Amino acid sequence: ADEPTGNLDSHNSCIVLELLVRLNREQGRTVIIATHSGLADELATIRIRLKDGSLVPYPG
Protein backbone atom coordinates (compact mmCIF):
# COMPACT_ATOMS: atom_id res chain seq x y z
CA ALA A 1 0.00 0.00 0.00
CA ASP A 2 1.39 3.40 -0.95
CA GLU A 3 0.89 5.82 1.96
CA PRO A 4 -2.24 4.05 3.29
CA THR A 5 -2.44 6.53 6.16
CA GLY A 6 -1.25 9.61 4.28
CA ASN A 7 -4.49 11.60 4.45
CA LEU A 8 -5.92 10.18 7.67
CA ASP A 9 -5.95 11.47 11.22
CA SER A 10 -4.04 9.47 13.83
CA HIS A 11 -7.12 7.55 15.03
CA ASN A 12 -8.09 6.34 11.55
CA SER A 13 -4.44 5.70 10.68
CA CYS A 14 -4.25 3.26 13.58
CA ILE A 15 -7.43 1.52 12.42
CA VAL A 16 -6.01 1.02 8.92
CA LEU A 17 -2.68 -0.24 10.25
CA GLU A 18 -4.45 -2.65 12.61
CA LEU A 19 -6.41 -4.01 9.65
CA LEU A 20 -3.20 -4.58 7.69
CA VAL A 21 -1.62 -6.34 10.68
CA ARG A 22 -4.68 -8.59 10.98
CA LEU A 23 -4.48 -9.49 7.29
CA ASN A 24 -0.89 -10.53 7.86
CA ARG A 25 -1.38 -12.47 11.08
CA GLU A 26 -4.76 -14.08 10.49
CA GLN A 27 -4.61 -14.75 6.74
CA GLY A 28 -0.86 -14.98 6.21
CA ARG A 29 -0.92 -12.13 3.71
CA THR A 30 2.27 -10.29 2.88
CA VAL A 31 1.82 -6.57 3.46
CA ILE A 32 4.16 -4.05 1.89
CA ILE A 33 3.73 -0.41 2.88
CA ALA A 34 5.48 2.59 1.36
CA THR A 35 5.26 5.46 3.83
CA HIS A 36 6.98 8.49 5.28
CA SER A 37 5.08 8.01 8.54
CA GLY A 38 6.69 6.33 11.52
CA LEU A 39 3.37 4.87 12.70
CA ALA A 40 4.04 1.51 11.04
CA ASP A 41 7.62 1.16 12.31
CA GLU A 42 6.81 -0.86 15.42
CA LEU A 43 4.49 -3.16 13.45
CA ALA A 44 6.99 -4.12 10.76
CA THR A 45 8.90 -7.38 10.78
CA ILE A 46 11.29 -6.15 8.09
CA ARG A 47 12.07 -2.52 7.28
CA ILE A 48 14.02 -1.24 4.30
CA ARG A 49 14.42 2.18 2.80
CA LEU A 50 15.04 3.59 -0.63
CA LYS A 51 18.22 5.65 -0.72
CA ASP A 52 19.65 7.08 -3.92
CA GLY A 53 17.64 4.59 -5.97
CA SER A 54 18.75 1.52 -4.02
CA LEU A 55 17.11 -0.54 -1.29
CA VAL A 56 19.16 -0.43 1.91
CA PRO A 57 18.63 -1.81 5.42
CA TYR A 58 16.75 0.48 7.77
CA PRO A 59 17.98 2.61 9.45
CA GLY A 60 21.21 2.04 7.51
Q: Residue 30 sits in which domain range?
A: 10-57
Instruction: Tell me whether residue 44 is in a domain.
Output: yes
Taking only the tens place, the pLDDT of each residue in 1-59 is 788 888 999 999 999 999 999 999 999 999 998 888 888 888 888 888 888 999 998 87
Instruction: Tell me whether residue 21 is in a domain.
Output: yes
Instruction: Tell me whether residue 2 is in a domain.
Output: no
SS3 4: coil
Q: pTM for the whole thing?
A: 0.75
Domains in the chain, number: 1
Residues with Cβ < 8 Å from 54, sequence gap 6 or more? Answer: none
Instruction: Tell me whether residue 33 is in a domain.
Output: yes
Instruction: Tell me whether residue 27 is in a domain.
Output: yes
Question: Omega before 59 cis (within 30°)?
Answer: yes
Instruction: Tell me whether residue 1 is in a domain.
Output: no
